[in-house]
């Protein structure tokens, strides 16, 4: 009893010991992020966007798809802050309800593309030789197309719908992550700790998950944050072209496209949804920049000194 208890205690201590440096790192990252004005703004934008995506449909003052022809093309006013479109639908309500499609597109595309890219890149970097050569030539082929054009082509073959646009974007988006992870894997493969692990008889998979992937986390996190914005733009662009969301779905890119021909008489129909996309992409870019700076070793050590000093002074006060 005591013995098993003793083992339990020491295990808990072991876990804490392992977690401690990790928590410290995260604490430092959070500190750096908090102290960058732009990163704070980015975080705020991203959080409010997520909030709107979750609760937008409930927040919308009007039904986003019900049409009232008598109220078409109303300019922005108290009752319709962003005006109404050609069917008399409230633009603000449609934007609130449409946020979820944008975030869904971004999240789903990256949730498919990133694991594929990470896995293939890791395999290429770790195994080297002909495997690497083959996988990298395949990524070269995908990277030979501008991403929007390739996604457009896939969408055209699959048939226009938001779901197919997401599939198309996932197919297009993985090669960049494969490149990124492969580069890291090549660097990590040569380090002495991987050599030590190998001499201990560690398998390739062990090295991949314990050594290579943890080393890739920071660059992946930065790229991922910025890519969220890009995927959202790309999905909106596909919808703008008519590939993605089909009417009457309130998707922001589609809304810009629908309002395009009425630009002269009713600018608000296109301007506000576009402004929404700009804000969201800006938010993800700022947050990505902030995370990159926070994870940058050079900047990090500088702030770490400041951080620890502040911690010591605050703990001595308390």
Partner 1 sequence: MRLSTYILRRIAMLIPVLLGVLILVFVIAYVIPADPARAWAGQRAREDQVEALRERYHLNDPVHIQIYHYLRNVILHFDLGVSPTTGRPVKDDLRAFFPATFELALFAFFLAIAMGIPLGVISALRRNKPTDHFSRVVALAGVSTPLFWSALILQFLFYFKLDLLPAMGRASVDITRYTGFLLLDSILNWNWTAFGDAALHMILPATTLAFYTMGYLVRITRGSMLEVLESEFVITAKAKGLPRRVVIYRHALKNAIIPPLTVLGVNFGWLLGGTVLLETIFAWPGMGRYAAGSIVMVDLPAVVGYTLVVAMVMLLSNLVVDILYSVIDPRVRIGGKRQ
Does 257 bind partner 1 (CB under 8 A)? Our answer is yes
- Compute how many other C-beta atoms are within 10 angstroms of the C-beta atom of residue 228: 26
Does 278 bind partner 1 (CB under 8 A)? Our answer is yes
Residue 85 near residue 94, CB atoms below 8 Å? yes
| Binding-site string for partner 1 from residue 122 to residue 161, where x marks contact by CB under 8 A and - marks none | ---------------xx-xxxxxxxxxxx-xxx-xxx-x-
Give the interface segment with partner 1, choosing from 8-16, 47-55, 192-200, 259-267 (CB under 8 A): 259-267
Helix (H, G, I), strand (E, B) or coil at 223: helix
Of 81 and 183, the one with the shorter C-beta distance to partner 1 is 183
Rounded Cα–Cα distance for residues 65 and 292 (Å): 40
Work out how close the CB of 221 gets to partner 1 at its nearest, in angstroms, rounded to a whole number. Answer: 18
Does 220 bind partner 1 (CB under 8 A)? Our answer is no
Work out how close the CB of 81 gets to partner 1 at its nearest, in angstroms, rounded to a whole number. Answer: 19
| Binding-site string for partner 1 from residue 172 to residue 191, where x marks contact by CB under 8 A and - marks none | -----------x--------
Using CA atoms, how far residue 172 sits from 133, 139, 140, 164, in Å, is 20, 10, 12, 12
Work out how close the CB of 25 gets to partner 1 at its nearest, in angstroms, rounded to a whole number. Answer: 23
> 79 phi and psi, to 5 degrees?
-80, -30
Give the interface segment with partner 1, choosing from 69-77, 82-90, 104-112, 263-271 (CB under 8 A): 263-271
Q: Exposed, middle or buried by CB within 10 Å (0-12, 13-18, 19+), for 46?
A: buried
Q: Exposed, middle or buried by CB within 10 Å (0-12, 13-18, 19+), for 73?
A: middle
Work out how close the CB of 145 gets to partner 1 at its nearest, in angstroms, rounded to a whole number. Answer: 5
Please give the residues from 2 up to 61 whose contact with partner 1 meets the rule CB under 8 A: none
Residue 142 near residue 205, CB atoms below 8 Å? no
Work out how close the CB of 147 gets to partner 1 at its nearest, in angstroms, rounded to a whole number. Answer: 7
Helix axes 268-295, 91-127, angle to 10 degrees: 40
Work out how close the CB of 288 gets to partner 1 at its nearest, in angstroms, rounded to a whole number. Answer: 10
Give CA angle at 186 (285, 171), nearest 5°.
Answer: 50
Q: Which residues of the chain form contacts with partner 1 (CB under 8 A)?
A: 137-138, 140-150, 152-154, 156-158, 160, 183, 229, 233, 236-237, 240-243, 253, 256-257, 260, 263-264, 267, 270-271, 274-275, 277-278, 281-282, 285-286
């Amino acid at each position: 009893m005591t013995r098993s208890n003793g083992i339990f205690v020491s295990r808990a201590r072991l876990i804490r010991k392992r977690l401690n440096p990790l928590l410290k790192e995260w604490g430092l990252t959070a500190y750096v992020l908090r102290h960058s004005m732009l990163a704070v703004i980015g975080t705020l934008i991203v959080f409010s966007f997520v909030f709107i995506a979750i609760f937008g449909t409930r927040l919308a003052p009007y039904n986003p798809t019900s049409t009232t022809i008598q109220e078409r093309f109303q300019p922005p006013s108290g009752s319709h802050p962003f005006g109404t479109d050609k069917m008399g639908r409230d633009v603000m309500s449609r934007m609130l309800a449409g946020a979820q499609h944008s975030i869904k597109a971004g999240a789903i595309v990256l949730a498919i593309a990133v694991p594929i890219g990470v896995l293939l890149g890791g395999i290429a970097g770790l195994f080297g030789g002909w495997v690497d050569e083959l996988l990298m030539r395949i990524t070269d082929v995908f990277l030979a197309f501008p991403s929007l054009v390739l996604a457009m082509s896939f969408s055209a073959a699959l048939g226009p719908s938001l779901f197919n646009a997401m599939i198309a974007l996932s197919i297009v988006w993985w090669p960049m992550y494969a490149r990124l992870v492969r580069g890291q894997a090549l660097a990590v493969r040569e380090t002495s700790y991987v050599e030590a692990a190998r001499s201990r008889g560690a398998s390739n998979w062990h090295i991949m998950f314990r050594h290579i992937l943890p080393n890739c986390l920071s660059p992946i996190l930065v790229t991922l944050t910025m890519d969220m914005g890009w995927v959202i733009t790309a999905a909106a662009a596909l919808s703008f072209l008519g590939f993605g969301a089909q009417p009457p779905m309130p998707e922001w890119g589609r809304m810009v496209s629908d309002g395009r021909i009425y630009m002269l008489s009713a600018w608000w129909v296109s301007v506000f949804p576009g402004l929404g996309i700009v804000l969201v992409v800006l938010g993800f870019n700022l947050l990505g920049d902030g995370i990159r700076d926070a994870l940058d070793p050079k900047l990090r050590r500088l702030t770490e000194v400041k951080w620890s000093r502040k911690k010591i002074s605050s703990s001595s006060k308390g």
